[in-house]
Chains A and B, each alone.
Chain A
Amino acid sequence: MQVVEQTAAGESQNPELLAGLRQQFGDRIQAEQATCDGIATLWIDRLHIKDLLHTLKRETTPVFEMLFDITAIDERLRTHREGQPASEFTVVYHLMSFSGNCDFRVKVPLMDSDLNTPSVIDLWSSANWYEREAWDMFGINFEGHPNLCRILSPPTWQGHPLRKEHPARATEMEPFSMDDEQTQIEQQGLLFKPEDWGMQRKSETSEYMFLNLGPNHPSVHGAFRIALQLDGEVVVDAVPDIGYHHRGAEKMGERQTWHSFIPYTDRIDYLGGVMNNLPYVMAVEKMAGITVPPRAQTIRVMLAEMFRLCSHLLFYGTFAQDVGQGSPIFYMFVERERIFNIIESICGARMHPGWFRIGGVAQDLPNGWDKLIHELLDFMPPRLDEYDSMVLNNGILKRRTQGVGVYGTEEAFDWGVTGAGLRAAGMEWDFRKQRPYSGYENFDFDIPIAVNGDCYDRCAIRVEEMRQSLRIIKQCVDNMPGGHYKSDHPLTTPPRKEKTQQDIETLINHFLSVSWGPVIPPNEATVAIEAAKGVNSYYLVSDGSTTSYRTRIRTPTFAHLQQIPAMGRGFMVADLIAIVAAIDFVMADVDR
């Protein structure tokens, strides 16, 4: 069964902008590509990429303030590339405009024999890590990058993991062994050399101390290392080092079927649970052309908001703990437990239910599902008020976090900051309001913002978001629509039982969808959602097969960690801990 048909390309978001660019760049634009997510996509040669990005950042209407993502695609085995310029490796720049509320995608074709393209760090600081990642994963050289080295895989790694020829399973490789000599080499590879990062070992007056904060440290929330350059206890500079939690989720996306990758997404932001499923299944649904019934949408929203509560509660507790207040985390675990009980009674699992499906959710809500939720809605608001008096109104905590790690919206755009970190800097931007998905436009809720952009504000915003999440959950309970929990579309996986065994056609369809998995038509789609920690997006490329050709997972905290040195310079070690705590990250989300 070959269901290879091009789904209808979505309407481009801004035709005037494209017309202007066509006029300005003329022949230099190699092609325009229509994708089903409606994001304007241009192909341009690497000679002109900086001109184009510069124009898009400064001159067009609207301007694109943020470099949302840089990634690459190994195109060598891809079929169905009709209308796209010849390319073996394509570098993809994803820009976001806040003034125009739209996205832009720029693609640069490269050949394997000459994988060089200019670095864009001088346009956006956030490009640094994204370019390092593209180098690490694909071997693309960004000319002019100050320190293009591995970021996710170990410095001693051979090959570039996301290239198609790189094995995806350990069983495709030699059996793993590590002798003493190799251990020494690996250990040497982890040694921090300040000179590599342009750091001095001493100033005119003092000798700096270089301190490894991590990879195992109580306040770095997982395996994460920050190499600090200290003058006394004052942070002169810092180099965040990630990759200790890298599991190759994107590579797995190319190996698993569209359906069987869903549980992997749960573990990307492991505190976000089914909220991670949402952008993935929505991107697949967009390519497949599936419309999700209202009941399934509302169930998705309700569960996503519950996971937002869980994630924020854990943030709130650990934030207090990192500034030395031991008790709040224990109170918040009580609430989390209640929420997990609800999630378990609906999904059957607690932290990683993997419960969303292509075209809906796994099952309908159980009988009496709303009872526990009503109890939670009564129980939680007074507890949240109590936490305010304990944590947010505490004088010591205020002195520790106010005025620490301050940045404004300009810096936030420059570093690719999204989510509460952006709203704390005074930008009212929430995907649930600006670009409603999954029926968020039907809910009545507010977007809290703050103006100081310090650690305290970032915490206060998340606390208010919890109250708003409770409002949304209440509206879900009060107005849960009837109807089906899964779409009628043939690509819904697995199909509803009553649709499976009617005749030979439905039987075959069912058999194929559970044995091979669904075949998604060739297309590309980016779907972003407002996850608990910022904007989480999936960029999926299908070439009409049972697996994804390229799965790009853009997580918010990858960008946020990159900003740590910029936020922390000149503060003390204790402040740095507060800054790190206020980011709200888990390393699985950063390293994927």
Chain B
Amino acid sequence: MFTLQVGSIFTIILVLAVVIVVAAMLIWVERRLLSFWQERLGPNRVGWFGLLQVVADMVKIFNKEDWIPRFADRFSFVLAPAIIMTVVLLSFAVIPFAPNIGVVDSNVGVLFVLAMASLGAYSVMLGGLSSDNKYALLGSLRCAAQMVSYEVFMGISLLGVVALSGSFNLRVIVEAQADGWYVIPQFVGFVIFLIAGIAESHRLPFDLPEAEGEIAAGYHAEYGGIKFGMFFVAEYVGLVLVSSLITVLFFGGWLGPAFLPPIVWFSAKAFTFIAFFILLRAAIPRPRYDQLMNFGWLFLLPVSLVNLLVTGAIILSTQ
């Protein structure tokens, strides 16, 4: 049965605020980390170590003219950035940050996250199509293909974890890892989820929908001001989401030695993956669109299916 436990209003607002602030600060973190790896300084002028750079950027972006091109389809053009922001934030509802912190305790948490990820594809598609721009069209075509394909492997790679824990509830999945993180029995699943997660948040090397060197920002080419800002921040929220999911599903969520509070363990693990994603961006070139599709369907799909079958066989044989 479908059950649901909702946290207090206070928790909801807290989670929402923290997630958005963290995502916005990630813009600064990414720029500083990238510049550290690229032998340059990055933003270091506004505030302490440039920490207020994000604030300055946000002030600028809020004050920009909220412009809609004449040739665009107004309704879906405005709707698209709202969709992506909404679905990534909604996904956080089911993430258990710590034993007592979380918005919703749902027994279909995993499915909810996957459903929200699928909805995210609409945002990018609508944004690209409504812009009536050829680059945006190419970007949204690429994006539709990429997100629809990689959702498949993302879903299948999770099923091993679900089978091991016997639940779709993310909180139960974390608690089931008290004896050992699922990254060990489900290493293949972890790697596939990691790759699919990058593809879902379309960050380099899977940033084909917006590949600035090829199709010049792709689906959000016509966006500016706060609507662009929403796409931009949503990408970072998505990054936090994928890192949190990896932490919850494969690295025991908040679990860790007791000298640190659970929420710190959770944050530390999640941030490690965020930094890893940023490092990827610094290190790797971008594959071609068809190479990405081939890699997904011809390699990731069989591997994730075999992983699921082997996991199932082992569970059955040990019962």
Interface residues of A (CB under 8 A from B): 209, 211-212, 217-219, 233, 320-327, 330-331, 334, 390, 394, 396-397, 399-400, 572-575, 577
Contact = CB atoms under 8 A, between A and B. Distances in A.
Contacts of B215: 573
Contacts of A575: 288
Interface in B169-204: 204
Nearest to B204: A324
B290 A326 contact: no
Contacts of A330: 38-40
A394 B288 contact: no
Nearest to A209: B134
Contacts of A217: 216
B285 A323 contact: yes
Contacts of B283: 325, 327, 390
Contacts of A320: 285
A209 B207 CA distance: 23
B212 A218 contact: yes
Interface residues of B, number: 30
B145 to A, nearest CB: 10
Nearest to A211: B134
B67 interface: no
A488 B49 CA distance: 59
A382 B289 CA distance: 34
Contacts of B290: 572
B72 to A, nearest CB: 18
B285 A573 contact: no
B134 A325 contact: no
Contact of A325 (B142, B211, B285, B288): B285
A574 B211 contact: yes
B287 A399 contact: yes
Contacts of B291: 399-400
B224 to A, nearest CB: 16
A233 B285 contact: no
Given A325-B284, A572-B288, A572-B289, 8 more contacts: A212-B134, A218-B213, A322-B213, A324-B213, A327-B282, A327-B283, A400-B286, A574-B286
21 contacts: A212-B134, A219-B214, A233-B289, A323-B285, A323-B286, A324-B213, A325-B283, A325-B284, A326-B34, A326-B204, A326-B281, A327-B38, A330-B38, A330-B40, A331-B38, A396-B287, A399-B288, A400-B291, A572-B289, A572-B290, A577-B213
B241 interface: no
B205 interface: yes
B285 A219 contact: no
Contacts of B62: none
B289 A574 contact: yes
Interface string B275-302: 0000001111111111100000000000
Given A324-B213, A330-B38, A400 B282 contact: no
Nearest to A573: B214
Interface of B: 34, 37-40, 134-135, 138, 141-142, 204-205, 207, 211-216, 281-291
A327 B39 CA distance: 9
Contact of B37 (A209, A211, A219, A327): A327
A211 B134 CA distance: 7
A324 B286 CA distance: 5
Nearest to A390: B283
Contacts, number: 80
B282 A324 contact: no
A573 B208 CA distance: 12
A219 B213 contact: yes
A322 B138 CA distance: 18
A322 B214 CA distance: 8
Contacts of A209: 134
Q: Which of B40, B142, B205, B214 has the most CB of A within 10 A?
A: B214
A43 to B, nearest CB: 49
A396 B39 contact: no
Q: Which of A209, A218, A394 has the most CB of B within 10 A?
A: A218
Most buried by B among A219, A327, A394: A327
Contacts of A321: 213
A281 B286 CA distance: 44
A574 B142 CA distance: 12
A211 B138 CA distance: 10
B211 A324 contact: yes
Contacts of A211: 134-135, 138
A400 B288 contact: yes
Nearest to B285: A325
| Closest 7 pairs between A and B when the two form their complex, measured CB to CB | A324-B286, A325-B285, A330-B38, A324-B285, A323-B285, A574-B288, A219-B213
Nearest to B138: A233
For A218, A233, A326, A577, which residue has the most chain B Cβ atoms within 10 angstroms? Answer: A326
Nearest to A325: B285
Contacts of B142: 233
A277 to B, nearest CB: 32
A410 B164 CA distance: 62
A395 to B, nearest CB: 9
A29 to B, nearest CB: 52
Contacts of A399: 287-288, 291
B138 A573 contact: yes
Contacts of A390: 283
B39 A331 contact: yes
Contact of A396 (B37, B134, B286): B286
A218 B287 CA distance: 18
Contact of B205 (A322, A334, A396, A572): A396
B287 A400 contact: yes
A209 B205 CA distance: 27
Nearest to A232: B141
A217 B214 CA distance: 8
B138 A396 contact: no
Nearest to A397: B285
Contacts of A572: 288-290
B138 to A, nearest CB: 7
Contacts of B207: 324
A396 B283 CA distance: 11
